[in-house]
Structure 1
């Protein structure tokens, strides 16, 4: 099985929670590539990867379930990260990329805990998963 086929299969069989985790990880990866590109003066590559990170954040915003109260707290943070990525891109500011990466990592780590807790309650405390 090729890597591409494996990745496609992983996405197709992932739960919504796992897909969100993949989005966070992808966003972090694109920010890291953008930062390295910024350091190497690869402006086009920096721009492309920051835009990819922004697209992921925009996707997270669009797919948020509005019925939950926490959405009202998370949405402004996503909006903030999206705006900061634009600023990092136009100002070539690596510190802003670091700031946004840290925020996305916090979301990812929290989300990972949510998935683990959900699995525990789904499969019982014995961890039969």
Structure 2
């Protein structure tokens, strides 16, 4: 088996197109520029494109549960960074969590009886996320997790029941 030179990026291997005969070369030349760029797509870009397609094709229920899943991931990442004393690494997921809570708040409508209570909870959660970040407060981060985890589970359960109807 061939060995790569030390330090050679794996990406170079992913960009290689094996051409076996003249027909392959002609086919490559006839491809559009977009097709050629897609062939050279990095693994990171492929992952990003997959995630974008997942979001674009998701039902409203699925989008909501995806937001809650990511919110919990952000809070957990921040808690891990805070526990390690890596305050700068904790800031980014806490800011992202605040953006998610803002998005969740903006999607509430007054057509639902529980909207005012959930809006108040989101407002409180947003404030605690800010405290967790600015004051480097691990207890506030833990409190945010305690608030979000049951909500996430409830929305997942609700989305299962709504898909059965």
- Tell me the TM-score normalized by structure 2: 0.69
What is the DSSP-based 3-state SS (H/G/I as helix, E as strand, rest coil) of the residue aligned with 1:66? coil
Q: Hey, what's the Cα distance between the residues in 2 that align with 1:15 and 1:5?
A: 18
What is the DSSP-based 3-state SS (H/G/I as helix, E as strand, rest coil) of the residue aligned with 1:56? helix
Q: Hey, what's the Cα distance between the residues in 1 that align with 2:111 and 2:57?
A: 26
- Tell me the TM-score normalized by structure 1: 0.87
Q: Hey, what's the Cα distance between the residues in 2 that align with 1:97 and 1:52?
A: 13
How far apart are residue 41 of structure 1 and its match? Answer: 2.1
**Where in structure 1 are there 5+ consecutive unaligned residues?**
122-129
Alignment partner of 1:48 out of 72, 92, 101: 92
Runs of 4+ in structure 1 off by over 3 angstroms are none
- The total of aligned residue pairs comes to 121
Alignment partner of 1:86 out of 126, 130, 133: 130
Deviations 1:11-39 (CA, angstroms, capped at 9, x unpaired): 11101111111111111111111111112
Q: Hey, what's the Cα distance between the residues in 1 that align with 2:48 and 2:99?
A: 21
Q: Hey, what's the Cα distance between the residues in 2 that align with 1:99 and 1:44?
A: 20
1:2-17 pair list within 5 angstroms: 2-17=46-61
Q: Hey, what's the Cα distance between the residues in 1 that align with 2:162 and 2:74?
A: 28
CA RMSD of aligned residues (A): 1.4
What is the DSSP-based 3-state SS (H/G/I as helix, E as strand, rest coil) of the residue aligned with 2:55? helix
**Where in structure 2 are there 5+ consecutive unaligned residues?**
1-42
2:119 equivalent in structure 1 = 75
What is the DSSP-based 3-state SS (H/G/I as helix, E as strand, rest coil) of the residue aligned with 1:35? helix
1:37 equivalent in structure 2 = 81
Q: Structure with the greater relative contact order (CA < 8 A, sep ≥ 6): 1 or 2?
A: 1
Is the counterpart of residue 28 in structure 1 residue 72 in structure 2?
A: yes
